[in-house]
Structure 1
Amino acid sequence: MLAMEGFNPKVITEYFAPEGRMAASIPGYRYREEQVNLAESITNAFIDQEFLVSEAGTGVGKTYAYLIPAILWAQEQKEKVVISTRTRALQQQLTEKDIPDMKKVLGTEFVFVEAKGRENFLCWNKYMRIVAGRKRLEPEERRFIEAILRWAEDTKSGDRKELTLDSSLMNKWGIVAADRKSCLRDSCPYSDKCFRLKMLKSLEKADIIVTNHALLLSDMLVENSILPKYSYLIIDEAHTFDREAFDHLSLRFSQSDINETLQLLFTRDKQGEHGYLQYLRKKYPGFSSLFTEIVDLSDSSSKILQNFFNVLKKSLTDKDYSYTRVLQWQDQETKWMLKAMDLYLEWQNSIILLISKLNSLNDEIKETEEGNELENILQSLSEYSYEASVIMEENIDQQDKITWLECERGQVVAVASSELDAGQVLHERLYSKLESLVMVSATLAIEEGYDYFLTRSGLNTFKGDDRVNTLLQQSPFNYEQQARMFIINDIPEPGERSFAETVAGVLENLFLIMGGQVLVLFTARSQLKDVAAILRPDCDLNDIRLLVQYEDGEFRHLVDEFIHTPRSVLMGLETFWEGIDLKGEILKCVVIIRLPFRPPTDPYCSAADRYCRLQNKNGFQHFMLPDAAVRFKQGTGRLIRSEEDRGLVVVLDSRLEKKNYGRVFKNSIPIKDVLLLETKQLPEYIKEFLKK
């Protein structure tokens, strides 16, 4: 334990007192015992160099509860504290509102910096090439460049968040965005103006670094070469951390990525031959035969790759239209897999030969600007070759790895693989380097227990060493008065013909009674599409604005429309189950169509199930059920966001009541006023609730 005079639980909790600095500096501040308990536990975790896992229910005020200890600790100990969030929205809220609020509360100066991925920053080299006319632009791209000209010349940060352009223009951001593949690094003629480098240098002087899970995990994978050294980490929105780790640990062998790089070298169309080789051919006519060899090898590589993915397509059934297919051990000896492996090895030989020829060319021109760009192409092709070899020659038949095919529109577009147990990697490469770790979210506990989260996140070893403490702080809201749940027990099963019509009928009546302000959460895109098609004509007739994911705009646009449009209804999939904060009259009812069990075809789900079986555990009990319970908790948590909110959750899945496992879902949420109804009873009970 580290003894501190100016940093102890008593000092920290005084900030939160009813007459303390928080009350004096933050408009609308309310004293909450739960917030004080969390702040005190975080303070002790820093002092005792321990780990804390805490669920802080909606309304506890977890952000302020960790910011005050984090800032004071960073100042007292001259130690950097890294705060990581899942969403860009929370990252922005921290840096633009919450941390500036803390400066007023604490009355002290400290340095905080937002760390984000390179794709958020303007690449000056890309921009100057466009301005100099060295890149051919489509009309929309030209309009985008015209729109950012003044900003690009004036900006001090180069951060895309400064732009307020329409989404149609911002879709073209990629043509000027920094990216790893095109980065010239030390060879860049504009390295002194590199906005990303400026951001990275500013991190060295920071007391508090605010980042996101994606960048935190990227830093972990490159041995802490992005963020400066740190020993104190707070992970907010921690309920998704193991899933994001699984995704970040994935390797991907993608046809489109490889072809895109090859097309930078050379491509033919009706207008002629284009690409970097054509530019070099004109500049260096003495290497004509080498250019011809490279073009032939590039063409050959593309054709072999196409054949490889065509053979993999033979593994798909008619239903495998757009999803993933996890490879099983019995696939290894099928005719299509054996043929695919032969083609893969042929492709690997061709790409290695192509890289060799490109290296020969690069040796001749590497001292020039052209050489810098050729080195980028070489690096990309080498990385693709390496990742493909790990997937196809190592991971594909290892017990502790999982490999899958990614399918779009009936075609296999990529082969990918990842770890079965991301938690073990987190333990070895992240947690073991920390003095203290705080993981916090509104949804971590299952029936008030943390076993599932600790196991999935790789924290069990630390728990066994008595280094992990857990804390459960329930929401301070009065759910008995503010919320009620109706479970409908007579909805047909999704496989039955009448499912979509029945669901649409229930929803239409509910929309009319509620007058809109309803969020409908689906688990399957096909069901969302079918129900929306039935509902839309009647919604139009009844002046109800139906906003449907994939049909009426992107996430942010749909949420904005829902907020600003009276009598509106929002229907969506997984994205909408969390991260939406709609207070007051904006949202009065959440409808859950089915319990959110992941499909077995989801690689993350399949990996967890396979890992459970290797541990001689039941995959449903130890993964599928608790995972779905956390997601259910997130979905129902959209409803009550403040003391003034009041509303209904309607669940159209009778398994919540009829199956024994339904109690796990119900015991994990704060809504305890639950009624089981038939469809015909629902309108009457909704009207009764609204009268109160």
Structure 2
Amino acid sequence: MREPPPTLVAAVTAAVWLTPDGEVESLTPAQAAQRASRQAPLVCHRRATATRLGIDPFPAFDVLELFAFVRPARFSAPTPRGLAQALDLGDPHSLEAQALALGRVADRLLAELAAREGSNGSAVSIAWTMAQAGWPWGATVLQALDFGKAEVAPRRAGGYRVWEQLGEWSEHAPEAPAGSQPVEPDEARRRLAELLGEDAEARPQQADYASAVAAAFVPRDREDDPRMVLAEAGTGVGKTLGYIAPASLWAEKNGAAVWLSTYTRNLQQQIDSELDRLYPHRAEKARQVVVRKGRENYLCLLNYEEAVRGLSARPAGAVPLGLLARWALATRDGDMVGGDLPGWLADLTGRGRTFGLADRRGECIYAACPHYRKCYIERSVRRARRARLVVANHALVMVQAALGGGEDGVLPQRYVFDEGHQLFEAADGAFAAHLSGQETAELRRWLLGAEATRRGGSSRQRGLQRRVEDLVAGHDTLETLLQSALRGARALAAEGWHQRVVDAGGAEGPTERFLALVRQQVYARAPSRGEGYSLETEVRPPLDGLVEAAKALETALGKLEEPLARLRDGLGARLDEDADKLDGDSRRRIEATMRSLDRRAVRPLRAWRQMLRVLDSEASPPEFVDWLAVERIDGRDIDVGFFRHWIDPTEPFAQAVLAPAQGAVVTSATLTDKSGDSEQDWLAAAQRSGSVHLPSPAIRAQVPSPYDYAAQTRIFVVTDVRKDDLDQVAAAVRELFLASGGGALGLFTAISRLRAVHARIGRPLEQAGLELYAQHLDGLDVATLVEIFRAEPDTCLLGTDAVRDGVDVPGRALRLIVFDRVPWPRPDLRHKARRAVFGGKRYDDMITRLKLRQAYGRLVRRADDHGVFVLLDPMVPSRFVSAFPEGVRFTRVGLAEAVAETRAFLQTAP
């Protein structure tokens, strides 16, 4: 950096400006905003800084961009403290110390770049192209790379051509069928001991757990009747290694993969890390372990290439594409969502611009793609075929099973479902049908690609014709079917559908006319729930004209489904008729296209038509709940549609996933209910996991936590704070956060309440030296917020359910949880239908207890953790005491006493 820029660090209500001469000035956010608009400062996370200053993003030397260039595919918490810790530069706490640290961070990164890459041609080319596009760091990075005054400039965007530098994957002979050798309980115990090592602390609960889940790795005796184990293991048991032990042993003995499935990407990463114990050598682990996600999570090289080729028309894209080029050459597997692409990088480069490079619309052309042999996705699929342990997620498992198999049509035979308490929710999303504006418009785009818009714009979207035209060329019947399908697609909602639906007279085509009437019925009948909430109403009795519109739409969708289904079948016939002409890649491409047609078009269309056909009947089919809704965010309509969910979504899950398998483990720390009735509690586990739909009952295993919760935690119910008075709620959160000295998580049942509390407590917390972050307010995704919270033990975080489910923060970084009110289930139509089937009030209590148990369970993640759990709701029923471990003090107190007790307990904790 020839002339060092000033440095800016902004908090919620204050900012620090460090001049190049070393003078530190304290500013208000407004003053800092004015300075930043006049001179580009050195900052950490330009967008988040701008959000805190209340202005649009401004030109700046963002140290995170430099970090992403120098250390691609590596993570740091996106804060000055996080960067300083990542580079071993201490842990600066005050704003002044953080401002000083940012300069040292930049210097260290530039020195590292110069020492490691020197005049690396690819790095120079990328940096030069980014500099030409105005990247503030461009000249400084080029200087570090010893670019000097080269007579010949690098080829523009030459380093961006990452597809030229990637190796090809190779095919292997098909794997032999899995064997049937069982895993005995003693074998599982021995394998666990090997994983832990000789010096490991004795954990008898973990060995008992491994022994119990081994029962799922025994051959089944009857078709569609898997060996099923429901295993509840309290926090601290070590269930991850506990199930890895028998799973890895079965995989080795039988030459096939066990799929380890989770609900959150965070746990996928944790399982992957634990597998380092089993495969300490990186190369061996790469052969034996694969992390698998849906195709939409990976960088599509064709999309990336097209973006690079468009740089001349869109030069502003050079900086984000350059940072992605650096990552693409360093990434382990091309996973953009929860992999080694830091979540904050997408915030810097633009989430649409980044994740839009993945195959999010199912537009892959498979073997016709010039990058097919280097594709990250295809490489991952092939590695998974030969791996012994595949770390997946519930959504991918369910989608693949619903389609009759994965990329190669083969279903796994053994599963472990960690976070098993989330199976019900995952199945609810996987097996639902949504006939909405967004869904139909997305299908239209998938079929027709980039249509000429009303503004004359276009995009890189590839329609069905472009994807399959060479597969149908010369086959008159297939060509005719393709054209019929493309004509039929014009009945779907088109770009700009929402505005036309709002203006009912402007709706175009049968889909939009139907949606206009749906919206009219929702607004006419939905009870108001306040600004910002989504609206819903029952389907029956239908509004005048809605049945007729439904019939017209059903007919139109039939004219689309029929040629698509015949096109799918006709392509399948080619596999037989042209068997002597098709090479391996062409066959695989046809098979993949058939699966795409089935998943993306035929199945949804069939479900939509079934929904429309019964709209004029007296009731929906008994296994489903139907409703009409307008989806809203911050008071703004974003979608409208006709929705159908299974009342019990574990029924199709059991049919598609569990029944075909040989064995499955469903495990969690909160698998059973805690009502006090043991049989009812296990019945709840069987119902929520789907095992109740299998011929044989599941084997039950329950291993208690080794932690002393009575000594390590306290629970307070505050009795003198009115939960409907946000001033009182905010004051309570503020005082409790101050009492804990940070490491505090505030959980809210509504975003509006979170926003109101955040506005009231930011300044006093900041004045006390506590940093406050908030979901939806800081311009950061949930995973990034949690990483900051984990890395900086004195920060405070406000969030909703998404934060609660994604938090795994051991140690002092999480020592206080404050719940704003009892987390009752939202009383929507879907819950109403399930409540009637699953036990009424008992069902409400079960869901609420689960949420409380999950939140409380975040406090103690290891043996030396201590924490306080506070409910700001005097109406907490006494029956919910059973949600918490036996012996823990559940005390009803006033706010002042809760604050004093929290401070005293945490100050005296070891």
Query: Shorter chain as normaliser: what TM range?
Result: 0.7 to 0.9
Distance 1:83 1:664, change over 3 A: same
* Residues 424, 487 of structure 1: alpha-carbon distance in 2 compared, 3 angstrom cutoff: same
**TM-score with structure 2 setting the length:** 0.64
1:28-427 alignment to 2 at 5 Å? 29-47=200-218, 49=220, 50-95=227-272, 97-104=273-280, 111-133=288-310, 141-149=317-325, 151-152=327-328, 157-160=333-336, 161-164=339-342, 165-169=345-349, 171=351, 172-179=353-360, 181-226=362-407, 228-259=410-441, 261=444, 264-270=449-455, 272=456, 274=458, 303-304=507-508, 305-314=511-520, 315-316=522-523, 317=526, 318-319=528-529, 322-328=532-538, 331-335=540-544, 338-339=545-546, 341-347=547-553, 385-394=605-614, 397-404=620-627, 405-408=629-632, 409=635, 411=637, 413-415=639-641, 416-427=643-654
Aligned-partner residue type, residue 453 of structure 1: A
Distance 1:294 1:542, change over 3 A: same
1:162 Cα offset (Å): 4.2
Q: Using the TM superposition, give the Cα deviation of residue 130 of structure 1 relative to its aligned residue in structure 2, in angstroms.
A: 3.2
Q: Distance in 1 between matches of 2:902 and 2:832?
A: 39
Q: 2:218 is paired with a residue of what secondary structure?
A: helix
SS in 1 for 2:278: helix
**Inter-partner Cα distance in structure 2 for 1:545 and 1:218:** 41
Aligned position for 2:197: 23
CA contact (8 A) 2:180 2:254 kept: no
Shift of 1:323: 4.3
Contact 1:12 1:69 in 2 (8 A): yes
Give the structure-1-normalised TM-score. Answer: 0.82
2:859 aligned with 1:639, yes or no? yes
Matches for 1:407-486 after TM superposition, within 5 Å: 407-408=631-632, 409=635, 411=637, 413-415=639-641, 416-447=643-674, 449-462=681-694, 465=696, 467-486=697-716
1:454-495 deviations in Å (ceiling 9; x for gaps): 122221254x73x4111111111111221111111233253x
SS of alignment partner, residue 806 of structure 2: coil
Residues 1:571 and 2:798 aligned together: yes
Distance 2:460 2:396 in 1: 32
In structure 2, how many angstroms separate the alpha carbons of the residues matched to 1:473 and 1:430?
26
Q: Distance in 2 between matches of 1:233 and 1:356?
A: 36
Between 318-327 and 437-446, report the one with greater CA deviation: 318-327
Q: How does 1:660-675 map to 2 (within 5 A)?
A: 662-669=878-885, 672-675=888-891
Cα root mean square deviation, aligned: 4.2
Which amino acid is 2:857 matched to? G
The 8 Å contact of residues 819 and 872 in structure 2, kept in 1 or not, is answered as yes
**Inter-partner Cα distance in structure 1 for 2:312 and 2:605:** 29
- The 1:124–1:634 alpha-carbon spacing in structure 2 relative to 1, beyond 3 Å, is same
**Aligned match of 1:504:** 730
The equivalent residue for 1:9 is 185
Shift of 1:509: 1.8
Match of 1:283 in 2: none
1:620 aligns with 2:841: yes
CA distance in 2, matches of 1:358, 1:233: 34
Amino acid at match of 1:100: D
CA contact (8 A) 1:112 1:208 kept: yes
Contact 1:484/1:671 (<8 A) preserved:
no
User: Closer, same or farther in 2 for the Cα pair 1:645/1:425, shift >3 Å?
Assistant: same
Structure 1 letter corresponding to 2:858: R
Q: Counterparts of 1:313 and 1:4 in 2: how far apart (Å)?
A: 55
> What is the alpha-carbon distance in structure 2 between the residues aligned to residue 277 and residue 243 of structure 1?
31
Match of 1:287 in 2: none
Alignment match, 1:555: 782
Aligned twin of 1:537: 763
The alpha-carbon deviation at position 519 of structure 1 amounts to 0.9
Counterpart residue identity of residue 400, structure 1:
E
**Distance between the aligned counterparts of 1:685 and 1:649, measured in 2?**
11
AA matched with 2:299: L
Letter in 2 for 1:550: H
The answer (yes or no) to whether the contact 2:401–2:657 under 8 Å persists in 1 is yes
In structure 2, the CA distance between the partners of 1:81 and 1:348, relative to structure 1 (3 Å rule), is: same
Retained in 2: the 8 A contact 1:121–1:158?
Answer: yes
Q: Which residue of 2 aligns with 1:677?
A: 893
Q: 1:278 to 1:201 in 2, by over 3 A?
A: closer
Q: Is the 8 A contact 1:239 1:443 kept in 2?
A: yes
Q: Deviations over 1:317-369 (max 9, x none)?
A: 5436544555435x33333xx43x4334445556667899999xxx9xxxxxx
From 714, 719, 742, the counterpart of 1:489: 719
Query: Retained in 1: the 8 A contact 2:817–2:870?
Result: yes
Structure 1: state its 5+ residue gaps.
Answer: 281-289, 364-371, 613-617
The 10-residue stretch of structure 1 (201-210 or 163-172) with the greater mean CA deviation from structure 2: 163-172
1:88 CA displacement: 1.3
**CA shift at 1:62, angstroms?**
0.3
> 1:324–1:601: 8 Å Cα contact kept in structure 2?
no
Query: CA-to-partner distance for each residue in 1:542-568, whole Å, 9 max, x for gaps?
Result: 333221211123212322332344642
1:654 aligned to which of 861, 870, 874 = 874
Question: For residues 137 and 391 of structure 1, do their structure 2 counterparts lie closer, same or farther at Cα, with a shift above 3 Å needed?
Answer: farther
Q: State the Cα distance separating 1:430 from its structure 2 match.
A: 1.9
Contact 2:650 2:688 in 1 (8 A): yes
Distance in 2, matches of 1:4 and 1:383, equals 35
State the identity %. Answer: 22
Partners of 1:651 and 1:296 in 2: CA distance: 52
Tell me the secondary structure at the aligned position of residue 403 of structure 1.
strand
Q: 1:298 to 1:521 in 2, by over 3 A?
A: same
Find the aligned partners of 2:198 and 2:350 in 1 and give their Cα distance.
41
**Residues 238 and 440 in structure 1, CA contact (< 8 A), matched pair in contact too:** yes
Residue 671 of structure 1: how far off its partner (Å): 5.9
CA contact (8 A) 2:624 2:646 kept: yes
User: Letter of the aligned partner of 1:99 in structure 2?
Assistant: L
Query: Aligned residue for 1:513?
Result: 739
Structure 1 residue 670: Cα displacement = 5.1
More divergent stretch after superposition (182-191 vs 300-309)? 300-309
Partner of 1:430, secondary structure, is helix
Question: Contact 2:723–2:821 (CA<8 Å) still a contact in 1?
Answer: no
Query: How far apart are the structure 2 equivalents of 1:43 and 1:59?
Result: 19
Q: Which amino acid aligns with 2:899?
A: P
- The alpha carbon displacement at 1:265 in A equals 4.4
CA offset at residue 665 of structure 1?
4.3
Taking a change above 3 Å as real, the CA distance of residues 451 and 320 of structure 1, as seen in their structure-2 partners, is same
Residue identity opposite 2:451 in structure 1: F
How many angstroms apart in 2 are the aligned matches of 1:519 and 1:125? 42
2:818 and 2:872 in contact (8 A); partners too: yes
**Contact residue 355 and residue 378 of structure 1 kept, 8 A:** no
- Using a 3 Å threshold, how does the CA distance of structure 1 residues 527 and 577 change in structure 2: closer, same or farther? same
Matched-pair contact (CA < 8 Å) for 1:521–1:590? yes
Residue 52 of structure 1 and its aligned partner are, at CA, apart by: 1.2
Aligned pair count?
A: 647
